[in-house]
Amino acid sequence: MTNVEQSKLRSVQFLLGNNFSEAIKELDKVIELDPEDSVSWHNRGASKYNLDQFEEAIKDLDKAIEINPEGSGSWNYRGRSKYFLKQFEEAIKDFDKAIEIDPDDSISWNFKGKSKLVLMQNEEAIKDFDKAIEIDPDDFENWHLRGTCKFTLGHFEEAIKDLDKAIEINPQDSVSWHYKGRLKYFLKQFAESIKDFDKAISINPEFYDSWHFRGVSKFYSDQLKEAIKDFDKAIKINPEIYDSWHFRGTCKHFLDQSEEAIKDFDKAIEIDPDDYNSWYLRGSSKNNLNQFKEAIKDFDKAIEMHPQDSSNWHFRGISKFYLRKFEEAIKDFDKAISINLEYYDSWYIRGTCKYFLIQYQEAIQDFDKAISINSKDYNSWHYRGACKYNLDNFEEAIQDFDKAIEINPDESILYKNRASAKRKIGNNEGADEDDTKADKLKKY
């Protein structure tokens, strides 16, 4: 046996044992003695590919293809090397050539589909995964990736079917469980999505995305305390991703844990200062703590980034309202209403500002609109009644106080104000009854 033959044999043995570094040493010897041996160039290129030496692999595979352009494997490995170097368009050309030579090369169909997936050519990628599945229906990755493409295209029900198949083949594939959970999340099937994320996490406890999205599903299921636990874990795994800080802060905001919420929004803003949501919610949390001047700064920033969000204008108006800057607040509510004509709270609070500015007729118009949007909130009935009282329209004021009391019979101030109106029209007996009721409520 010649030296070349001995080195070839040893290289094959090393390749079979996945000892690629030693295989390369033997193939170096073969190529030095027989530089026209395309198989050795291919094997050395494949070995370098398996060692993640992609640029060096391409050089060897170039030579293998130059010597033997009909070797589909060399086109395949060169395409895969380019794929991992993110040269996706060039990789596709190599996979096309490999498939031309060997149409049943499922790996080339798979990688061509993956390259198109990265290039957001999802419809074309699906065709490639179709072919890969036709050739090798037992490879779960093709089902998973086809499902991922359909997910991206919004074909959620079809995507779930593909992911179910991937899971049937490989029930330990945490990524397929995760994406199925994501799909159900987008379908607002939150209870079901949580189960899928449970499974993904049980397989891979360090899977950041599953902890995060399980938390988001729990958030939308009003399981705020449980959601916080998931965001805690997600942040522990990867503290540099904005989303979990933001959502954890949002949970704390809605649980009235405003000081803790602000800390999370601080971190979210540090990571991504261009997302207006955290500025807006941090401002809202500061409002809850009566830090109105600081809140206004956050709402200023949110408005700068997203001037068409009515909530930014509305809540800045709230801050100004509590600072008794009623005229400035009215301007913000004007803007909020111009964006969203059905924004009940802006109509109601704008009316309240006008009430305190003694603009009773203008205020009544705002309360009229607020009541037309939401007739179940006693506040607008109450303040409209107060405006009418101050305009000496006592009968109509009583009617509004009646409605406010019907909605909220446990608010003492409503009875006091109705008592005042009744005295104005000489109904002292009725006024006394209301005063007595108000006093009893105050005791409780």
Quick one: pLDDT at residue 5?
76
Polymer length in residues for the chain: 444
pLDDT at 23: 87
- pLDDT on residue 443: 67
Contact between residue 397 and residue 389 where contact means Cβ atoms under 8 Å apart:
yes
Sequence-separated (6 or more) residues with CB below 8 Å from residue 210? 174, 177, 178, 181, 197, 200, 201, 204
Cβ neighbours of 304 (radius 10 Å) = 11
Distance of CA 113 to the CA centre of its chain: 26
List of domains in the chain: 359-444 (1.25.40.10)
How confident is the chain (444 residues) per 10-residue block, as mean pLDDT?
A: 74 86 88 90 95 96 96 97 98 98 97 98 98 97 97 95 97 96 95 98 98 98 98 98 97 98 98 96 98 98 97 98 98 98 98 98 98 97 98 98 98 96 96 95 74
Q: Are the C-beta atoms of 34 and 4 separated by less than 8 Å?
A: yes
Helix axes of 258-271 and 276-288: crossing angle, nearest 10 degrees? 160
Distances (CA, A) of 428 to 233, 412, 432: 64, 18, 6
What would the DSSP string read from start to end of 213-273?
Answer: HHHHHHHHTT-HHHHHHHHHHHHHH-TT-HHHHHHHHHHHHHTT-HHHHHHHHHHHHHH-T
Provide the pLDDT for residue 181.
97
Q: What is the pLDDT of residue 426?
A: 96
